[in-house]
Amino acid sequence: MNIGLIAHDSKKKLMQNFCIAYRGILNKNQLFATGTTGRLVEEVTNLSVHKFLAGHLGGEQQLCSQIEHNQIDLVIFLRDPLNPQTHEPDFNNIFSLCDMYNIPLATNLATGELLIKSLDRGDMEWREIYQ
């Protein structure tokens, strides 16, 4: 499966910890991330991550393009709802595209854990029908 990873600045450490905790599962999949998030995840996990541009420099649009072309199966976006981002419309595009293309999307740690555990159990195999 192709997994997209995004984290707002205040959630990047949480994303690193998430990826450390689920390294064994993530290692069996292809990872795609916005630039800084991808670099930080690689640093602490030694996982291979395809890095797009930094989010505010176009990384969100690159991820959106992957979603539109059905090349992402799951998105984990640890966002900070209390601190609005200057490029918030880009994030809304990700949410809309995940809804349009039926891509599972986690926007918090609890949902991210549920999706990763279901991926490990094989519950996400239905995505192969869409590819």
Binding residues for substrate: 8, 12, 34-37, 87
Half-sphere exposure of 123 (CA within 13 A, CB side): 10
CA dist., res. 111 & res. 4, Å (int): 14
Torsion angle (degrees, nearest 10) of CA 18, 20, 21, 22: 80
DSSP secondary structure letter of residue 120: H
Q: Which residue numbers belong to the known binding site?
A: 8, 12, 34-37, 87
Report the run of H or E that residue 107 belongs to, with start and end.
Answer: none
